[in-house]
Amino acid sequence: MILKAKYVRHEADLQEERIIFEATSDGDIGDHIVLRAQSSGTGVHGGGLDAYWVPNKSVNSGDLVVLYTKKGENSHKKWKDGSRTWYLYWGRESASWQSPFVPVLMQIEYWATVGLEEKEREVLESEPGTGGGDAG
């Protein structure tokens, strides 16, 4: 997995709430998904209530990825040392990370759509390493 979750900050405050990830290797992060799930004393359950598909971005080891809960425009900043911080926005209208809700980071290798015409499906199906959507 290219991304490693580090922190959730400012839980329950929509304007400041965010998850900070660090890139542990070079590569494209478009095959990562963050699920909003429920937790309890026995682990994570309840399935993914909703998900954020990380857009295709080429990152370097040590780069930070900051996923804000609120609406905004994705951007990045390059620092003097050459590292970058990527600012991504989920687009939710309410805070997400107050108990019992937790983010679950997943990396997907294969995916396919369901219910599309054959021609559309051929265009959308993913092959290993082709990553995710640009939505989000």
Report the pLDDT value the prediction gives residue 109, as an integer from 0 to 100. 85
Q: What does pTM read for this prediction? A: 0.83
Torsion of CA 118, 128, 135, 49, to 10 degrees: 90
> Residue 29 and residue 130: Cα distance in Å, rounded?
10
pLDDT recorded at residue 115: 74
pLDDT tens digits, one per residue of 28-56:
999 999 999 888 877 887 666 789 999 99
Q: Is 69 exposed, middle or buried (0-12, 13-18, 19+ CB in 10 A)?
A: buried
pLDDT tens profile 62-121 = 999 999 999 999 999 999 999 999 999 999 999 999 888 999 999 998 888 777 666 555
DSSP structural state of residue 22? E
| Domains, the chain, with CATH or none | 3-124 (2.60.40)
Structure tokens at 111: 């995916």
